Amino acid sequence: MNVMFLGTGAGMPAKSRNVTSIALQLLEERKAVWLFDCGEATQHQILHTSIKPRRIEKIFITHMHGDHIYGLPGLLGSRSFQGGETLLTIYGPKGIKEFVEKTLLLSYTHIKYPLEIIEVADGIAFEDSQFRVAVKKLEHGVPCLGYRVVEKDTPGTLQVDKLRALDVPPGPIYQKLKQGNTVKLEDGRELNGEDFLGPHQEGRIVTILGDTRICEQSVELALNADLLIHEATFGHADDQLAFDYFHSTTSQAAKIALEANVKQLVITHISSRYQGEDSESLLNEAREIFINTDLANDFEKYEVHKQK
Return residues touching Zn ion (CB under 5 A): 67, 211
Q: Are 55 and 31 in contact (CB under 8 A)?
A: yes
For residue 54, which of 21, 20, 29, 77 has the smallest C-alpha distance?
77
- Maximum CA pair distance of the chain? 76
**Binding site residue list for Zn(2+):** 63, 65, 67-68, 140, 211, 269
Strand partners, 274: none
What whole-number distance in Å separates Cα of residue 253 and Cα of residue 247? 10
13 binds a second copy (CB under 8 A): yes
Q: For a second copy, give the closer residue by CB, 31 or 110.
A: 110
User: DSSP string spanning 38-65?
Assistant: --TTHHHHHTTSS--GGGEEEEE--B--
Residue 67 known to be catalytic: yes
The entry of a second copy, Zn ion, none that residue 305 binds, CB within 5 to 8 Å by partner kind:
none
Query: Does the footprint of a second copy cover residue 38 (CB under 8 A)?
Result: no
Q: In a 10 Å sphere around its CB, with 0-12 CB exposed, 13-18 middle and 19+ buried, how is residue 303 labelled? A: exposed
Q: How many residues bind a second copy, per CB under 8 A?
A: 35
153 CB neighbour count, 10 Å cutoff = 9
Between β-strands 190-192 and 182-184, what pairing exists: parallel, antiparallel or unpaired? antiparallel
**Residue 78 near a second copy by CB under 8 A:** yes
Rounded distance between C-alpha atoms, residue 190 and residue 193, angstroms: 10
Contact window for a second copy (CB under 8 A) among 75-83, 180-188, 189-197, 253-261: 75-83
Could you say which of 1, 26, 41, 286 contacts a second copy (CB under 8 A)?
41
Q: Is 108 in the site for a second copy (CB under 8 A)?
A: yes
Least separation in angstroms between CB 225 and a second copy: 29
Using alpha carbons only, how large is the chain's radius of gyration in Å? 22
Q: How far is the CB of 21 from a second copy (least distance, A)?
A: 13
- What's the closest the beta carbon of residue 306 comes to a second copy, in angstroms? 35
Q: Tell me: does residue 237 bind a second copy (CB under 8 A).
A: no
Q: Is the dihedral of CA 73, 76, 80, 82 positive or negative?
A: positive
Out of 11, 84, 210, 235, name the contact with a second copy by CB under 8 A: 11
The least CB distance from residue 137 to a second copy, in Å, is 16
Is residue 64 involved in binding a second copy (CB under 8 A)?
yes
Q: Under DSSP, is residue 302 helix (H, G, I), strand (E, B) or coil?
A: strand
Q: Which amino acid is at 44?
A: H
Tell me which residue of 106, 144, 155, 105 sits closest to 230, measured CA to CA: 144
Bridge partners (DSSP) of residue 117 are 90
Beta bridge partners of 77: none
The binder of 102, among a second copy, Zn ion, none, by C-beta within 5 to 8 A per type, is: a second copy
Task: Please state the φ and ψ torsions of residue 264, each to the nearest 5 degrees.
Answer: -140, 145
Residue 107 binds a second copy, judged by CB under 8 A: yes
With CB under 8 A as the contact rule, which of the stretches 60-68, 145-153, 179-187, 230-238 interacts with a second copy?
60-68
With contact defined as beta carbons under 8 Å apart, do 23 and 33 qualify? yes
The answer to the question of residue 9 lying near a second copy (CB under 8 A) is: no
Q: Which of 55, 65, 204, 230 binds a second copy (CB under 8 A)?
A: 65
Q: Pick from Zn ion, a second copy, none: which does 114 bind, CB < 5 to 8 A by kind?
A: none
Any contact of residue 43 with a second copy (CB under 8 A)?
yes
Catalytic residues: 67
Binding site for a second copy (CB under 8 A): 11-15, 18, 40-41, 43-44, 47-48, 64-67, 69-71, 73-74, 77-78, 81-82, 95, 98-99, 102-103, 106-109, 142
